[in-house]
Amino acid sequence: MSTLAIDIGGTKIAIGLVENDAIVERRQFPTPIVQQAELFAGTILEHATDWMDKVSRIGISTTGLVTEQGISAVNPDTLAFPAPFPLAQALESLTNLPVAMLNDAQAAAWYEYTKLGADIRNMAFITVSTGVGGGIIIDGKLHSGASGLAGHVGHFSIDPHGPHCGCGQIGCVEAIASGTAIKRFSDEVFTPNISNVELFEIASINPQANHIIEQSAKAIATLCCNLKATLDLDMVVLGGGVGLATSYLDRVTQKILQRPAAFQVPVIAAQGDYDACLLGAAFQFNKEESW
Ligand SMILES: [Zn+2]
C-alpha cells in the first residue's frame, strides 16, 4: 500500500511516496500563494502526478491547528492562506482517496513514538526550530485535544517579565527559545549580525553567544520539567534545527539535572530528523493500531 505523504510548512511543501513505512521518493517545492483550497490541492497533486496510480491514501501534516473544518493558526502571521482552510476536503474531492490530516508536530510526535521501546507509553516530542512546537502521547495514544491545540508547548508562558509572543501572551517558551528568538537576541548583541549557525560555532569562546543559547536551553528544560510534572512523562524527544544543534541537548539535560528529582525526565534526540513530519503524515494511518 502506497501513501502520498504531504508536509506543509509556511514556506515550503515536502511530499513523499511512502511504502512499507519508508520514503521511497521525496520532492520539495515552495508553498503556493493561493487563497482557494482546490487550487492549493491541485498544485500539490501536479507535483505527484506520476505517483498517483500507485497511491491508495493521502496523509497530510501541516503547520497550524487542524480541526474538521480545516487548517487555522495560533499565530495568524504564520499562515499564507485563509482559515479554516479545507485542504483535506479538497484533496479528497480531487482524488476520491481517503485523506487524513494532523498538525505537523503531532504527526512527528507519533512517528517518534513508534520508534521507541514498548516500555515508553507517555512521551512528548518538542521541536525547537523557527518556532517551538510539540506533540503529546498519553497511554500510547496521540492526544490532539478537541480543538487540535494539544502539544502547542511553545506557548507555555514561563516568564511574566519575558518578551511578547506572536500568540498574544508574554514570556512564552517560543519567544525565548526558538530559532527566531535566538536570532532576535543575537541581533541585539552582535554588529554586524551573525547567523544562528555562527552563534553556535562561537558559543564555546564567546560568553554573550553562550548566554543566548543557555537561556534558550534553560527555557526548554523548564518546559520539559513542567510537562513531567503535568503528565508524568517517561521521555521527551527533542528535534528541530536548534534542538538537534551541537551541544544543545546536553545543555538541556544539564539544566534538567539541576531540578528536583521528581521533575527530571530523560531527553533524547529525534530519530526522524528533518523528515519526521513527512513520515508522521503517513504514519498517522497506523494511529489506532497497537505498537
Ligand atoms: Zn506564545
Contact 122, 233 (CB under 8 A): yes
Q: Per the omega criterion (within 30 degrees of 0), is the bond before 98 cis?
A: no
The three-state secondary structure class of 116 is coil
Contact 63, 10 (CB under 8 A): yes
- Chain segment 155-193, per-residue pLDDT in tens: 999 999 999 998 899 999 999 999 999 999 999 999 999
Q: Is the pTM of this model over 0.85?
A: yes
> How many angstroms separate the alpha carbon of residue 75 from the centre of ligand 1?
8
> How many angstroms separate the alpha carbon of residue 130 from the centre of ligand 1?
13
Q: Residue 63: CA atoms inside 13 Å, Cβ hemisphere, count?
A: 22
> How many angstroms separate the alpha carbon of residue 46 from the centre of ligand 1?
36
User: Which pLDDT band holds residue 21 (cuts at 50, 70, 90)?
Assistant: confident
> How many angstroms separate the alpha carbon of residue 132 from the centre of ligand 1?
9
User: What is the per-residue pLDDT for 227?
Assistant: 98
User: What is the per-residue pLDDT for 76?
Assistant: 67
> How many angstroms separate the alpha carbon of residue 24 from the centre of ligand 1?
37
Whole-angstrom distance, CA of residue 231 vs CA of residue 211: 30
> How many angstroms separate the alpha carbon of residue 289 from the centre of ligand 1?
33
C-alpha cell at 6: 504531504
The set of residues, in sequence order, having a beta carbon less than 8 Å from that of 256 and lying 6+ positions away, is 221, 224, 225, 263, 264, 265, 267
The three-state secondary structure class of 146 is coil
> How many angstroms separate the alpha carbon of residue 48 from the centre of ligand 1?
35
Q: To the nearest whole percent, how much of the chain has pLDDT over 70? A: 96
- Chain segment 57-66, per-residue pLDDT in tens: 999 999 888 9
> How many angstroms separate the alpha carbon of residue 136 from the centre of ligand 1?
18
> How many angstroms separate the alpha carbon of residue 129 from the centre of ligand 1?
14
> How many angstroms separate the alpha carbon of residue 220 from the centre of ligand 1?
14
Contact 72, 63 (CB under 8 A): no
> How many angstroms separate the alpha carbon of residue 142 from the centre of ligand 1?
22
> How many angstroms separate the alpha carbon of residue 174 from the centre of ligand 1?
6
- Chain segment 91-143, per-residue pLDDT in tens: 999 999 999 999 999 999 999 999 998 899 999 999 998 889 999 999 999 99
Name which of 211, 254, 11, 275 is nearest 131 in CA terms.
11
What average pLDDT score do residues 18-44 get?
93
> How many angstroms separate the alpha carbon of residue 128 from the centre of ligand 1?
14
